């Protein structure tokens, strides 16, 4: 198998693109896909400051790596959730990447430790508020990510969601006809109200397999293990189903998600109607002033609960 571009020995084949690449051409392909995503969805420019949410997994570290190599001003935030060895290991991988790779580009890593602020890890917090661990984790990560972005004046927040993530989420939203979520499933969400930063997903054109290959080929040391809390989750089930379809007919995920985006873009002007809707229901939390639909945001409610129950 030879590289489609330069005819030397290929290291990876990409059935959905009918192509195979050597390491150099594959890196070029990955960088090109991200550059196209940034441009076509008006994500950010070279002067803007980007905050990447990193977890220690392949996607978010690859995203940080790619943005820095493409010459963007990208810093990162890591939230330590306190999930035993999983958190210890992912924390170590992120710190190592920040010291070895990101620092040479002048990039900074911000850290937030859940246990330090709440006095308890994610599992105990979830029990306290009677919510599933994954949704509690989502609340905390979203909250901290937005807080750091606003406080440190970043122009945009970027997450490592890839094509597999977005196709699986879309499948879930369609299966349950969650129209409200469908509206917000684009890879670029504007800063709808004061206190909410713009959110983008620059990896939506790349698959999980492609990102794993990118991480391995570029010696990015990442945590391979999935979060132990996510085992058996609906999202993983949807991914499995889509993977089976993809094996039978390469390009299924891409046709599904990109096709959805194309339809969305014709329904203009989504961004403005979405912003108007958000403005109508959101106002500052009376405790922390981050935007919320309630009087006190769910994060502040959780912290109050944690601080009254957990002895410090
Ligand atoms: Zn090549
Ligand atoms: Zn609040």
Rounded to two decimals, what is the model's pTM?
0.93
Note the ligand closest to the C-alpha atom of 27: 1
Would you place residue 233 in the very low, low, confident or very high pLDDT band (cuts 50, 70, 90)?
confident
Distance 280 CA to ligand 2 centre (A): 18
Report the chain's C-alpha Rg in angstroms.
20
For ligand 1, the distance from its centroid to the CA atom of residue 282, given in whole angstroms, is 50
Q: What is the mean pLDDT of residues 165-191?
A: 92
Ligand lying nearest the CA atom of residue 147? 2
- Give the pLDDT of residue 272: 60
Cα of 20 vs centre of ligand 1, distance in Å, is 8
How large is the average pLDDT for residues 199-225?
Answer: 96
- Residues 241-261 have pLDDT tens digits of 999 999 999 999 999 999 999
The arithmetic mean of pLDDT across residues 265-276, rounded, is 67
Per-residue confidence band for 310, with pLDDT thresholds at 50, 70 and 90: low
CA of 31 to the centre of ligand 1 (A): 14
Task: Give me the CATH number covering residue 59.
Answer: 3.40.50.620
With respect to residue 139, please indicate whether it lies within any of the assigned structural domains: yes
pLDDT band at 264 (very low <50, low <70, confident <90, very high): confident
The 3-state DSSP class for residue 75 equals strand
Q: Which ligand is nearest to the CA of 7?
A: 1
Ligand 1 centroid to residue 222 C-alpha, Å: 25
Question: Locate tokens 């713009």: which residue?
Answer: 198
pLDDT value, residue 311: 59
Residue 280 covered by a domain: no
Q: Which pLDDT does position 23 carry in this prediction?
A: 97
What lies within 8 Å, CB to CB, of 34 at 6+ separation is: 63, 66, 67, 70, 202, 203, 205, 206
Name 110's bridge partners.
77
Q: What is the percent of the chain where pLDDT is above 70?
A: 97
- DSSP lists the bridge partners of residue 77 as 53, 110
- Mean pLDDT of the chain, nearest integer: 92
Within-domain flag for 22: no
> In this model, does residue 96 exceed pLDDT 80?
yes
Distance 302 CA to ligand 2 centre (A): 9
Range of the domain at 70: 33-267
| pLDDT reading at 35 higher than 60 | yes
Task: With respect to residue 129, please indicate whether it lies within any of the assigned structural domains.
Answer: yes
Per-residue pLDDT for 73 more than 60?
Answer: yes
Looking at residues 153-175, what average pLDDT do you find?
A: 96
Ligand 2 center from residue 79 Cα (angstroms): 18
* Alpha-helix runs per DSSP H in the chain: 23-40, 58-69, 84-100, 114-118, 122-128, 133-151, 163-175, 179-183, 208-217, 234-248, 252-266, 270-281, 298-309
- 192: pLDDT strictly greater than 90: no
CA 75, 80, 83, 89: dihedral to nearest 10 degrees?
50
CA of 291 to the centre of ligand 2 (A): 8
Span 45-62, pLDDT tens digits: 999 999 999 999 999 999
Count of structural domains within the chain = 1
Q: Is 271 exposed, middle or buried (0-12, 13-18, 19+ CB in 10 A)?
A: middle
CA–CA separation, 99 vs 80, rounded Å? Answer: 17
What residues are neighbours of ligand 1 (ion), with CB under 5 Å? 3, 5-6, 22, 25
179 CA → ligand 1 middle, Å: 43
Q: Would you give the DSSP letter of residue 199?
A: E
- Position 269 scores a pLDDT of 57
> What phi and psi values does residue 246 have, to the nearest 5 degrees?
-65, -40
Whether residue 312 is predicted with pLDDT greater than 70 in this model: the reply is no
Cα 280 from chain centre: 27
Average pLDDT score over residue span 65-93: 96
Tell me, yes or no, whether 184 lies in a domain. yes
Give 110 or 265, the one with higher predicted confidence.
110
pLDDT at 170: 97
Q: Is residue 105 part of a domain?
A: yes
Q: Could you write out the three-class secondary structure of 82-147? A: CCHHHHHHHHHHHHHHHHHCHHHHCCCEEEEEHHHHHCCCHHHHHHHCCCCHHHHHHHHHHHHHHH
The number of angstroms, rounded, from the C-alpha of 128 to the middle of its chain's C-alpha atoms is 26
**Is 188 within a domain?**
yes
Considering the domain boundaries, does residue 47 fall inside one? Answer: yes
CA of 180 to the centre of ligand 2 (A): 23
Nearest-ligand number for the alpha carbon of 23: 1
Among the bound ligands, the one closest to the CA of 284? 2
89-93, 160-164, 216-220, 271-275: which range is least confident on average? 271-275
């Amino acid at each position: 198998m030879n590289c489609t571009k330069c005819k030397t020995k290929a290291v990876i084949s990409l059935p959905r693109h009918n192509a195979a690449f050597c390491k150099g051409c594959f890196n070029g392909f990955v960088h090109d896909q991200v550059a196209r995503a940034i441009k076509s969805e008006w994500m950010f420019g070279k002067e803007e400051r980007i905050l990447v949410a990193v977890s220690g997994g392949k996607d978010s570290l690859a995203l940080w790596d790619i943005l820095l190599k493409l010459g963007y001003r990208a810093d990162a935030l890591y939230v330590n959730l306190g999930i035993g060895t999983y958190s210890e290991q992912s924390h170590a991988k992120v710190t190592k990447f920040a010291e070895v790779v990101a620092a040479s580009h002048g990039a900074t890593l911000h850290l937030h430790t859940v246990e330090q602020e709440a006095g308890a890890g994610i599992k105990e917090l979830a029990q306290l508020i009677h919510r599933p661990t994954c949704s509690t984790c989502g609340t905390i990560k979203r909250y901290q990510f937005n807080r750091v972005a606003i406080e440190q004046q970043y122009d945009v927040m970027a997450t490592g969601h890839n094509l597999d993530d977005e196709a699986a989420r879309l499948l879930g939203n369609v299966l349950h006809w969650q129209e409200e979520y469908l509206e917000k499933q684009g890879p670029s969400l504007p800063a709808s109200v004061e206190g909410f930063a713009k959110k983008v997903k620059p990896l939506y054109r790349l698959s999980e397999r492609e990102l794993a290959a990118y991480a391995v080929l570029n010696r990015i040391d990442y945590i391979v293990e999935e979060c132990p809390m996510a085992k058996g989750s609906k999202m993983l089930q949807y991914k499995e189903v889509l993977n089976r379809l993809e094996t039978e007919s390469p390009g299924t995920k891409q046709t599904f998600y990109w096709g959805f985006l194309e339809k969305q873009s014709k329904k203009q002007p989504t961004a403005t109607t979405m912003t108007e809707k958000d403005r109508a229901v959101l106002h500052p939390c009376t405790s922390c002033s981050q935007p919320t639909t309630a009087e006190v945001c769910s994060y502040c409610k959780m912290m109050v609960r944690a601080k009254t129950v957990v002895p410090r």
